[in-house]
A and B are shown apart, each in its own frame.
Chain A
Amino acid sequence: MNWSPARLRQPSVIPGFRLTLGFSLAYLFLIVLIPLGALLLKASELGIGGMLAIAFDARVLAALKLSFGASFVAALINGVFGLVLAWVLVRYRFPGKKIVDAIVDLPFALPTAVAGITLATLYAKNGWVGALFGPQTWVGSLFGPKGLMIAYTPLGVVLALTFVGLPFVVRTVQPVLADFDAETEEAAASLGASRLSTFTRVIFPALLPALTTGFALAFARAVGEYGSVIFIAGNIPMVSEIAPLLIVTKLEEYNYAGAAAIAVVMLAISFVLLLVINLLQRWNQSRMRA
């Protein structure tokens, strides 16, 4: 290796380095980085004080709380059920398993607007599922005289975000569980561990990095989600209005700087998330190798 710090790349006989890297960088700058730069430029017109004033405006704050809070709850739900799903898909045999496995990816493939109108229709007061929780039903009456309203409440937001985040945990846990060494489990069992303690003390710790990665991915996706949420949310300011919708509202009012400021606040939080995800993935990979 005649690599030296002065050379930024190692020599290779394969041609095309300048062409492919040059094109990739040009495309990356034109499509992604320059437009994102324009966003920062626009937001900077307000200055730090102006940005903070917008971020701490009561309506914006409520929207940010809802977006991040509902995303967190949705990711948590998917963490639990995603783990169960991955477990069942890897460990058990049942007819139609391949189809069940394939359908897990539906939220990736189904356009968000389609998911949005369908969930809103299903969970509305008179929808297939929503009607089950109405005031006249037994289940609904448990929640008080009005029954349990799902659509057009924060609960509807959580529901839609749970839908879009469903595949992440399953798909990150599945390969780790499939590669998990059976001998480790046998050893634990032969040393007298119960099934439960084998799971909590041997299997679960090994799955934890993948589980956290899946959780973080689902969370990050949910925070920015728009299409599947706006139909079911009802979009009541201070109650069920998500942050991305507020950006759209500001745009419609021609308040470009305001829209940019909310976007920058959201991006800053998402950027931190991306860093955390990368670190988690590295942790995950190093554990899988070990």
Chain B
Amino acid sequence: MDGAPRSNDATTEGPFLRLGLSGIALLYLALFLVLPLVAVFVEAFAKGLGPFLAAVTEPDALSAVKLTLIVAAISVPMNLVFGVAAAWAIAKYEFWGKSFLITLIDLPFSVSPVISGLVYILLFGAQGLLGPWLYEHDIKIIFAVPGIVLATIFVTFPFIARELIPLMQEQGTSEEEAAISLGASGWQTFRRVTLPNIRWGLLYGVLLCNARAMGEFGAVSVVSGHVRGLTNTMPLHVEILYNEYNFTASFAVASLLALLALVTLILKSVLEWRYGDEIAASARH
């Protein structure tokens, strides 16, 4: 990533311009990124440690944390299996309609989170297509945990697949073909040959997928129904507290999510620095 430092005057800017550009760039980041990040923690501890601890250990907050973890624990593995399967199919074979398939996989990224929630209401809601049938069989999806999981899966759908597809395409098929011709089974080939090649890219995708799954707000908000203690995830709990003017508690829960974001950024950067070559550079985002 680092360009070689240029000492040649003709191909760099004057010292004042360099300083000015660096100043603008850093000020922009400080104002837009660092300041909000600092503000989350300042607001969370504005009234001291006691109210902070009270806010994050209160039963509704704990059940929100629990639900957030459950939702991520279901949706991330589902998208992981899909991501690996889709990347295998796309990278290891040549077939008709492949690039269209890749476009379709990216589709959830260009859909508003609110619409991602809406589609499930239209399908499973009381007035939805399958609503009456679900009601007869006493199955609740909307305003319940399954709806939240589905909406989360939808918004995090492309993360792992789009990480693995370019990586596995770059690696080609020769190693797998060699393993197969030496008598390995398909599963052995995947586990012993492919998996070691893609493990860091896989982890990178899981990391991004998990951060979004735990932090998703819009899609989940539409399908959750905001039942405290039952269908509230952490971001929704933040919203409820904020709308009740309980700012300290709201920022206390928000600071846990900000911490998750920081940990994600650190792990992501470490992966990029140490295993940059093994994570598809073209998929960096």
Residue numbers of A with Cβ under 8 A of B are: 3, 8-10, 12-17, 19-21, 23-25, 27-28, 31-36, 38-39, 41-42, 81, 84-85, 87-94, 98, 100-119, 121-122, 128-129, 162-163, 166-167, 171, 174-175, 177-178, 182, 185-186, 189-190, 195, 198, 220, 223-227, 231, 244-245, 247-248, 251, 254, 256, 259-260, 263, 266-267, 270-271, 273-274, 278
B127 lies within 8 A of A256 (CB): yes
Is A113's CB under 8 angstroms from B11's CB? no
30 A–B pairs (Cβ distance < 8 Å), ordered by A: A16-B92, A16-B186, A21-B85, A24-B85, A24-B101, A32-B154, A41-B122, A81-B28, A93-B2, A102-B269, A110-B261, A111-B216, A113-B236, A113-B254, A118-B36, A121-B247, A163-B32, A171-B285, A185-B11, A186-B10, A224-B113, A226-B114, A226-B221, A244-B113, A244-B114, A248-B114, A251-B222, A256-B122, A259-B118, A267-B115
Asked if B214 is at the interface (CB within 8 A of a chain A CB), the reply is yes
Once A33-B104, A274-B110 are accepted as A-B contacts, the answer to whether A103 and B265 lie under 8 Å apart by CB is yes
Q: Is the CB of A41 within 8 A of B129?
A: yes
B111 touching A267, Cβ below 8 Å = yes
Interface residues of B (CB under 8 A from A): 1-6, 8, 10-14, 18, 21-22, 24-26, 28-29, 31-37, 39-40, 43, 81-82, 85-86, 88-89, 92-97, 101, 103-108, 110-115, 118-123, 125, 127-129, 150, 153-154, 157, 173, 176-177, 180-181, 185-186, 189-190, 208, 211, 214-218, 221-222, 234-236, 238-239, 242, 247, 250-251, 254, 257-258, 260-262, 264-266, 268-269, 273, 281, 284-285
Say yes or no: B114 contacts A108, CB within 8 Å.
no
Known: A21-B89, A98-B273. A108 touches B11 (CB 8 A): no
B interface secondary structure, majority: helix
A128 touches B35 (CB 8 A): yes
* Least CB distance, B175 to chain A, in whole angstroms: 10
| Contact assessment for B25 and A81 in the assembled complex, using a CB-CB cutoff below 8 Å | yes
Closest chain B residue to A179, Cβ basis: B3
Residues of chain A with a CB closer than 8 A to B154's CB: 31-32, 35
B88 nearest in chain A by CB position? A20
Do A166 and B33 form a contact, CB below 8 Å, given A23-B82, A31-B157, A106-B261? yes
Tell whether, in the assembled complex, residue B1 and residue A17 are in contact, meaning their CB atoms are under 8 Å apart: no
Q: How far is the CB of A248 from chain B (nearest CB, A)?
A: 6
**A108, A122, A274: which contacts B103 (Cβ < 8 A)?**
A274
Given the known inter-chain contacts A13-B181, A112-B215, A256-B121, please indicate yes or no for A178 contacting B3, CB distance below 8 A.
yes
B258→A110 contact, CB < 8 A: yes
Q: A23-B85, A27-B82, A93-B5 are in contact. Are A113 and B269 (CB under 8 A)?
A: no
Question: Is B111 touching A110 in the complex (CB atoms < 8 A)?
Answer: no
Known: A41-B129, A256-B125. A32 touches B104 (CB 8 A): yes
